[in-house]
Amino acid sequence: MNITLKVWRQKGPNAKGAMETHKMTDISGDMSFLEMMDVLNDRLIRDGEEPFAFDHDCREGICGSCSMFINGEAHGPGRNVTTCQLHMRSFKDGETIHVEPWRASAFPVIKDLSVDRSSFDRIIQAGGYISVNTSGATQDANAIPIPKVDAEEAFDAATCIGCGACVATCKNSSAMLFVSAKVSQLSLLPQGKPESKERVQRMVDQMDLEGFGNCTNTGACEVECPKGISLTNIARMNREFMKSSLS
């Protein structure tokens, strides 16, 4: 298949960016989107030009680093897939594809398609931990009774890979889906309950400090999330935050 790529080029955080156009020919529909970008970069290197910078690691939909805004959608037109899991057969022969970085003030562009998502790390550091008393004989975690519903919801929330698609998709650049997933992951389990009140306060405060917007329940974040994190986590976080504020 033959496609036309319009890819965002930006030399650095303070540089002015612009779209570059590249014609791609003989692209296999079985290629992943990142493999197609590799082909483009290989060609640029052979021609003595600078390749495009973009983040990637596992290429298995686990690490969440392959963040690209493709044709106006986070991770492209697929559902419940990351960019590395998106295949070129999802596009039509002769199509023009626009590729951009995440657009959010809390995710400043480092170079080209690569953005700084360390704000997520700081949110987790603000409250993403649990306390375990290890003095004496510690109870085996598998021996702690946990309601099945709570365990399943906690594990569903834990599937969040922190890619930032929710922020990039939200008209307010809100990080509430990400933060609520991390809050739910810990607050639903017994090990996370001792610090649950302090944790939600610290994480929400850090989220606001980083400059993320607020949630207006549009629901685009849930649609574009590659792991299908539910909006119900935001409702749970709001309840946890309210309870911690009143206690």
What type of residue sits at position 47?
Answer: D
**Residues 11 and 34 placed together within one structural domain of the fold:** yes
pLDDT at 33 over 90: yes
**Average of per-residue pLDDT across 168-197:** 93
Per-residue pLDDT reduced to its tens digit, 143-167: 778 899 999 999 999 999 999 999 9
**Residues 144 and 237 placed together within one structural domain of the fold:** yes
**Residues 99 and 149 placed together within one structural domain of the fold:** no
Burial of 44 (0-12, 13-18, 19+ CB in 10 A): middle
**Residues 20 and 104 placed together within one structural domain of the fold:** yes
What's the half-sphere exposure (Cβ side, CA atoms, 13 Å) at 15? 11
Residues 6+ apart with CB under 8 A from 85: 32, 60, 61, 78, 226
pLDDT at 101 over 70: yes
Helix (H) or strand (E) holding 194: none
Angstrom distance (rounded) from CA 232 to CA 215: 13
Q: Coil, strand or helix: which one is 236?
A: helix
pTM over 0.85: yes
Number of domains in the chain: 2
Predicted pLDDT of residue 125? 93
**Residues 104 and 123 placed together within one structural domain of the fold:** no
Angstrom distance (rounded) from CA 45 to CA 203: 43
Residue 164 tokens, joined? 């930032």
Predicted pLDDT of residue 139? 66
**Residues 126 and 102 placed together within one structural domain of the fold:** no
Looking at 79-83, 92-96, 172-176, 186-190, which range is the least confident one? 186-190
Residues present in the chain in total: 247
Residues 6+ apart with CB under 8 A from 39: 24, 27, 31
The CATH number of the domain where 27 resides is what? 3.10.20.30
pLDDT band at 133 (very low <50, low <70, confident <90, very high): low
Per-residue pLDDT reduced to its tens digit, 112-128: 999 999 999 999 999 87
Angstrom distance (rounded) from CA 139 to CA 214: 40
64-95 in b/e form (b: 16+ CB < 10 A) is: bbbbbbbeebbbbebeebbbbbbbbeebeeee
**Residues 66 and 99 placed together within one structural domain of the fold:** yes
**Residues 104 and 133 placed together within one structural domain of the fold:** no
Angstrom distance (rounded) from CA 242 to CA 31: 47
Angstrom distance (rounded) from CA 74 to CA 64: 12
> What single-letter DSSP state applies at residue 88?
G
**Residues 200 and 137 placed together within one structural domain of the fold:** yes
The CATH number of the domain where 200 resides is what? 1.10.1060.10
**Residues 95 and 160 placed together within one structural domain of the fold:** no
Query: Are the C-beta atoms of 65 and 85 separated by less than 8 Å?
Result: no
**Residue 219 lies in domain:** 118-246
Predicted pLDDT of residue 135? 63
